[in-house]
Amino acid sequence: MTSARTKFLIGGALVLGTAGYLMATSIRDTGTYYLTPSELATKLSADPSLRHTGVKLGARVVPGSITRVPGGKEYAFTVTDGAQTYPVVYHGIAPDTFTDGVDVVVEGRMGEDGTFRATTLLAKCASRYENAPGPRPDVPKYRATPGYRAGARA
């Protein structure tokens, strides 16, 4: 005869084991490491069939390289890690933080012509924020508002 406590412990162990297995397999399936341009170049030279596989590429946008098709959602830009550079083409809406010199992670495939065709574009946020240039810090902000008159009484 098995006691109720033993049944409860066996059931709890089965539930925890199943939950752990599901978490481990989902992390393995969705956790994708992104490559730098240098790592991608090395892997492409070792295995050209990688061109037909989706990869994530993490790099910095080369300043002055962003071009946008007028009236469209197509962007062309260049990314680099300092050693290797790749042109990237992206069709879609770019994030607000996508500018020159920002770190990006693009997901897509490498074309036969050496252009990375991105299906996803993620721009990393700055690690620090600075105040926008504006009036002098020693002048109170309310004095810069339209309609302010010094010495006026209500």
Domain at 93, CATH number: 2.40.50.140
Is position 136 within any domain?
A: no
Is position 17 within any domain?
A: no
Domain count, the chain: 1
pLDDT at residue number 38: 93
Is position 78 within any domain?
A: yes
Neighbours of 152 (CB within 10 A): 7
Burial of residue 110 (number of CB atoms within 10 Å: 0-12, 13-18, 19+): buried
Is position 71 within any domain?
A: yes
pLDDT digits (tens, 9 = 90+) for 7-43: 899 999 999 999 989 888 877 666 667 899 999 999 9
pLDDT digits (tens, 9 = 90+) for 59-89: 999 999 999 988 778 999 999 999 999 999 9
Supply the mean pLDDT for the chain.
Answer: 83
Is position 100 within any domain?
A: yes
pLDDT at residue number 91: 93
Is the entire prediction scored with pTM above 0.75?
A: no
Domain that holds residue 101: 33-123
Is position 19 within any domain?
A: no
Question: Which of 154 and 46 is assigned the larger pLDDT?
Answer: 46
Question: What does the alpha-carbon distance between residue 154 and residue 144 come to, in Å, rounded to a whole number?
Answer: 18
Contact 127, 97 (CB under 8 A): no
